[in-house]
Amino acid sequence: MLKIIIIAAFLISAVNSGYSKNFNIINTGSDSLKIEKQNSPVPDKFDIYSPRVPLTPQKYILFDVPENSDVSIKMYDYDNKFISELINKNFEAGTYYIDMYNIAKLKSLPSGVYFLEMKSGNFSKQKKIIYVK
C-alpha cells in the first residue's frame, strides 16, 4: 500500500514538474502515444504499475526499465484477445509513464477488465486493469 502511495505522489509531482524527458511515439493509425522519462534513480528491476483506481483515458501507466533494453507493452481483453501494442521500442534505463489520452483504440473500448502485458528479454508480467470511460 505504501509503495502505491509513493508511486502516486511521484506521478503527481512528476507531472507537475519540468523534470521529465518527453518522447512522442507514433503508433498505428491515428494513435499518438506520449511517453515521459522521469528524473529518478535507475530502478532495480523491470516492473509495470497499473493505477489502483479505474483507468480512464486521462490516467497514466508507469513502468520501470533497469537497463537499456527493448520493451513491449500490449493490451488484451478479458478473453485474452489482443487489442493493441502500446509500445515496442528500445528504452534507456529509467522510469517512464505513458499518457493514455491520445490512444484512439482505448477511447473506443467499452468499460471493463483488461490486461497489460510488459515483456523485455526474459521478463514478462501481466497487470489487470479496470477501464472506465
Per-residue confidence of the chain (133 residues) as pLDDT tens digits? 444 433 444 444 344 333 334 343 433 344 566 788 888 889 999 999 876 666 665 577 889 999 999 999 999 999 999 998 888 999 999 999 887 766 666 777 888 899 999 999 999 999 988 887 7
Q: b/e per residue, 2-19, with b = 16+ CB within 10 A?
A: eeeeebeeebeebeeeee
Tell me if residue 5 falls in helix, strand or coil: helix
Residue with cell 483507468: 55
Q: b/e per residue, 55-73, with b = 16+ CB within 10 A?
A: bebebbbbbbbbeeeebeb
Nearest to 89 by CA among 14, 23, 38: 23
pLDDT value, residue 20: 37
Q: Which residues contact 103 (CB under 8 A, 6 or more apart)?
A: 27, 31, 33, 57, 84, 86
